[in-house]
A and B are shown apart, each in its own frame.
Chain A
Amino acid sequence: MNKCPTIVDIRFDEESLNGIERIKELHELEKYGRIWLTIGNLFNIFGGNSLRSTPAGHINEAFKLIPTDTLKTTAKTASKGVASESNQTAYSITQANWEYYFQSYVSLSNLKRKKIEELAYNQALKHQSRPKEYMFWKSIYMGCKYE
């Protein structure tokens, strides 16, 4: 993330406020997509072609890779739901499974980043006569986060 400028006493017009709302929606969409991505990958691993026998313990290592608590809880719940004998059965979650999962995970972030850049550029062009808002939207485009 780039160093973000300090913008004092900025007042947003309605157009900018709509843009900020849209960014919030994009963050939500990404979170929502990641949750379904997690569920889909668990179905792939536990219910699909990737099911194999292996020594116990690997699954816990895999869960450690899941980045947020919400997704971790979901993943564990889902795995129990799909594999009713999860205490007795161990699964082989290969490096390829997880690389694929994280590639998918990152791809949603790229889609969101691209949309935020488009939105920020449009907003900056609309606010070229309002220097503070122009600077704000340029900063968003350059990678400053609004969350």
Chain B
Amino acid sequence: MIRKTWAIAKKNIRIYYLKGPVLIFGILFPAFLFLAFAVGRNVPAESLVPGLIGMALFFTASATTPAILPFETRTRTLERLLVAPLPLSVLIGGDILSAFMYGLFLSAIPIAISFAFLGASFAQPLAIVAAVLLSALCFALLGTLFSSPATDEPSSIMTLSNLVRLPLIFFSGVFVPVSGMPEWGQWLSRISPLTYTTELLRAGIGQEVQIGAWWCAVALVAFSIAFWTVSMTLHNRNMSRRLSL
């Protein structure tokens, strides 16, 4: 089954990495959003690092999976996958693997910039590695959850995903650390998986944190399990409806 999962992931890499909606909502949009926040403000460059890396991971890893199933439905390639001898978990697993790799590859750029030019330091390298890997997985799974409605319109799903993703970045410690938020904001931040990414990254580069590194790692794993469970239930329920579109 690992080989089959990898086969699906390779196909996704070949076809979907350079699709317009993926590039726009996965790279360009967050890049400009971050620049709009950072440029011209008098904030230490180092304090921008967790937000920059967190946002890159968040937007890139959750960008491809919402596009894949609607595209496969529209281009009439989905049923060929469904007649192959693989469970739905392998099919979705391949999508997640390709999204995870997309997140890792593309977030490598802001990570490199952060450590080369923005003065970030490796205070706790393990925390940084854990933040990157766990977050890429968690956000890839979140993307799978976005793709669960039965539609053949990729734009509908990208809109839906942005409806969720955009508000999240404002109370997840991306622009303002969790410790700097009002009390209600700090409570609200606990329901966002992105909060645990930024907090874990802050711990990794030696900045003050509100939530311990271990708790952040556990929270990201818990979110991943929840996203997987809910998305598989929804995909199982909606797959036959996709075929009638």
Q: Note whether A and B form a binding pair.
A: no
